[in-house]
Structure 1
Amino acid sequence: MEMLFTSTLTSTPKNTSTPTPTLPSLEFSIPSPTATTTTESPWRPPAYPVPWAPTSHDHFYFSRPIAAKDVKLPFTNYRYANVFFGDHVHTGMDIPADLRESVLAAGDGKVVWAGYGLYRGGISLDDPYGISVVIKHSFGYQGQPLFTVYAHLDETIVHAGDIVAAGDEIGLVGNTGESTGPHLHFEVRVGENDFFATRNPALWLAPPQGWGVLAGQIMSSGGRLLENESVYIHSRLDVENEDEEDEVWIAKSYTMEGINSDPYYQENFVLSDLPAGYYRVNIPYIWTVFTKVIEIRPGEVTYITFEGWKGINVTEPPKPEILFAPAP
């Protein structure tokens, strides 16, 4: 389980000073991706080198905060913008991990928070984040600073003010704060170190090599974004072939209050860490199940839209100047 926050929460106290006006650009070195894994493999290949940006719109800038060779996908019900226990909205992703497993910095930067009290401010032992670390990174995105949050730790290895590099140990997995078992709660914040400045980490963490990401919009027939709708991704393309194993992934569309979509993708669902290949997507809508075969490309984002009775389409994200209005 994860932090229990309601949609009526007020803005969290700022823990950092005013960011510097300019941030250095990242240098990209991108090898040609190859698909080398299958859905049957329990082994997770190493991630693409960071920063990874197969298109000018992508920003897979961060390495994995938990080092593991086996597949450690985010908990299905605790992905970004999902709702659990009523109206509690999730502002990051939960990564399964063993108690006191090493937590690693996702990128170079400076520690700006270490300890209790990230949400409420001060030394608050009942803070829902528990023991946490925040890093302000030495690089930004489109002129905005980037922060990553590591919560529910058992203890921190670093202190505020420390300079860290990607892959440095910064803490140990724990169960502090509002949590029902050991795991890492990981957030990406853009622009400021604030509870309401989060983005979906699945669009910022470099995918494993040969794997990709599915993102898109789930809408009504009239084009209204639908909340908390299920998207089923099947490895079996032929629904009638019962001899073929069918592995199923489930994603849910965002609950949008207090949640931020990517300015380019304008997504309301994301499913990361899919081995490259073909999949059958099923989306139930008013007593009908719509189906589409899609291709997940290695190291890339596959984008789909569902618009009610118009069905599922593989397409490009909507043009920002038409559908996207940045927050004031």
Structure 2
Amino acid sequence: MTAVHNFQIPKHLNALSPAEYRGKSREDVRLLVLDRLNGTRFHAHFNQLQDYLMPGDLLVINNSRTIPAVLTGKYKNNTIEVRLSRQVSEQEWDAVILGNTLAIGSTLTFPGDMSAVVISDGSELPLVTLSFSKSGLDLLNHIYRIGLPIHYEYIDYPWPLDTYQTAFASVPGSVEMPSAGRALSWKMLNNLKEQGIDFGFLQLHTGLSYYGENMWPHPEKHPESYCIPLKTAQQIAKTKENGGRVIAVGTTVVRALETAANEDGTVKPQSGLTSLYIKKDYQLTVVDGLLTGFHEPEASHLDLLTAFIEENHLIKAYSNALDQGYLWHEFGDMNLVLNMNGFY
């Protein structure tokens, strides 16, 4: 564990509920702005985001839609909980079976006359690959009927699936919300558009960020599927040509764009899987800035952040965020990391 991972989140800084259930709007969370060059910090609110952007900038947003990825079923006479992680085929998913190690060939049953067989190990332990008795849209519809959204131990209430969706989520496939876009609204995006700040969309379907029992995914063994549309690739090319900045809304967008980028920063429309691990000294080729939440000390997302800003600046910023009472996790506050040259 490097120094940037060496901190603890006090319990009172866990965002336990969505902003809209705290009597606020989604936009009414805090925003910590970091200058990539020197680590200078600005404390603001998310609805002031436009004050830190410039005409010609492009926000690239993940419009993947969260599915209810927690399935409760039976193995023999025992109740088991399955957490889906990644769709492998029309009827196969990598998943974690909580608290159980089941042999290949084991059969699980679920409500609504559906079953699944453990057919192999998954992309990394403790994942296994399940083959379901349903496939395609039939399987997806059944998951929506019987599943619940994933929530971790810092959340003590089962918030509805809608609270785990962004305003523009349209392509089902993420098992956890691409939470960096949660505070954005269509109204806010349209206001940015009027100020010459464009936005575009891609999809990266997020896998599990935590396997349980103090096990965390390794990015190189944790493939995620992505799709970059032609329009978005064209928007990126136009932004670069005109000297604007490409700002990723979320680490998922960084991973997708940097996977798809050529050495000169050109992005072509494409779909595929990415196992890209972005960390310190990685040379970003297309993404100029990042809008993200605050990440757990165990998360590889912090390694990705060190590709944007020097580690000592990030350590000081996170220490400051803890002192200032910023909230963590998917319902928490936001962090913008961007070259602020000329802003002050």
**TM-score over 0.5 for the pair:** no
> TM-score normalised to the size of structure 2?
0.28
Q: Which structure dedicates a bigger proportion of its chain to strand?
A: 1
Higher relative contact order (CA 8 A, sep 6+): 2
> TM-score normalised to the size of structure 1?
0.29
Q: Which structure dedicates a bigger proportion of its chain to helix?
A: 2
